[in-house]
A and B are shown apart, each in its own frame.
Chain A
């Protein structure tokens, strides 16, 4: 086949001119669906960040009895450190606990009431995966359900931790499903629009095949068209998303940072997630345009 760029580009753009309505429909479909996908992605990312940050605050506090020996404390510390779930163990002695307590309650009446040091020494344990908190807590228990010798109490928010984990798990699944559904809807919509524009020109394709145009020759203008529509639509969606995030979403994220101290957010976070979303949308738009036109051609006119 002789490659004739002037023919292909000319053919692509002259059909874009002729079928402006078709072109407009395809581009706006791509733009709107990708915009919604992008918007949801930002939302989902931020919600996941908040949930992850809340989860990472889940810790175990293991309070020791006052009569425990230094050897027991060292033994226990080494034992805890050897568990693979554990990320970090901090020992807080009775004195440090009192210091901390005094600092936190400076100026309060309570301090005057305290005599001696009623606070216990403790281990604060941070886990690599907070979901395992219950498993780890159980290691401080005997089979009979009491704490092992030398341990007064283990606290890890028994009541809310399980709920939090089930909520994050559900939220994650739902978000994933919504994004998948939106993507599917986008693909189906874009595919149908491109298919219609191909259908509108089936006569032209029939003639081309009749006079011996190679399949590639028939396909290339349509593939260019699909690619161009996907590209143009995704660029428009990125522009819309840019304005939405810079004038609206950014305020929400500021509030989240101020109140919840969550760092890894889509727009304001240190990872520039928003740029990846923009790039992803453009790539996605081009791919959808490319594959929709390719598939529609194969499926509906067999070229």
Chain B
């Protein structure tokens, strides 16, 4: 089953920058995909299109068989509840603890308090931070902060997890830990798409690699490496 499908997708920004040119691509359920390429090649645009942060210029994007391009604005939050997102800058709230940051994601989608009390410690344990639940982001290392943000993205058990340069701010050893965590999440059955230009990570993981250049797919390889 195709989890994500791009059909002739073109994205031109308001300033006339062509970010994606007629992209066709499918990602199956449970796959782990790297999207690689230099800065400005269109990696982040793919992520932004998937969570409908920006609209497509032409073409169609299907998630679990549904065209999200004609999704009503009021349904976008429901789409996002099914897609966890992780970013280079973590996007944690500085005035909330690790527990509260994760709990916030459940609160704002209306989960009842008793469910929050059960789910948050579970997911923090999964990312290995059960002992730092009450720490604030500034008390955590960069790697730990990224773990909290992964916990937040995953706490709702979304079928898809998107990661935009999740290791961009981390050192190689910490990055490796984050990649192990993403692999574990993938093993549970979650479809993971990760945009990166971290050569070492891509080479060591040996997963599917989609390479972009100037908004076009120049390579789509099973069990690929970063460069040829």
Beta-carbon nearest neighbor of B84 in chain A: A211
Binds B, one of A24-32, A165-173, A212-220: A212-220
Q: How far is B78's CA from A18's CA once the two chains are assembled, in angstroms?
A: 30
Question: Would you call B109 and A212 a contact (CB within 8 A)?
Answer: yes
Asked whether B147 is an interface residue with its Cβ less than 8 Å from the other chain, the reply is no
- Grouping DSSP codes into helix (H, G, I), strand (E, B) and loop, the A interface class, with mixed when no group exceeds half, is helix
Residues from 176 to 196 in A contacting B, C-beta threshold 8 Å: none
Q: Which residues of A contact B93 (CB under 8 A)?
A: 203-204, 207
CB neighbours of B153 from chain A (8 A)? 211
**Within the complex, what minimum Cβ distance (angstroms) separates A13 from chain B?**
15
Q: Residue A210 at the B interface, CB < 8 A?
A: yes
Chain A residues touching B, range: 10 to 19
> What residues make up the interface of A, taking CB atoms closer than 8 Å to B?
1-2, 4, 7, 18, 203-204, 206-215, 217-218
Chain B contact residues, CB within 8 Å of chain A:
51, 73-74, 77-82, 85, 91-93, 95, 104-105, 107-110, 152-153, 156
Taking A18-B95, A204-B93 as contacts, is the C-beta distance between A209 and B80 under 8 angstroms?
Answer: yes
CB-defined contacts of A4 to chain B, threshold 8 Å: 107, 110
A213 near B91 with CB under 8 A, answer: no
Q: Which of B73, B80, B95 is within 8 Å of A211, CB to CB?
A: B80
**Which residue on chain A has the smallest CB distance to residue B79?**
A212
**What residues on B are CB-neighbors of A218 within 8 Å?**
108
Q: Which residues of A contact B104 (CB under 8 A)?
A: 207-208, 211
Chosen A-B contacts, 25 in total, with CB atoms closer than 8 Å, are: A1-B110, A203-B91, A203-B93, A206-B91, A207-B91, A207-B93, A207-B104, A207-B105, A208-B108, A209-B77, A209-B80, A210-B51, A210-B91, A211-B105, A211-B108, A211-B109, A212-B78, A212-B79, A212-B80, A212-B109, A212-B156, A213-B77, A214-B74, A215-B73, A217-B108
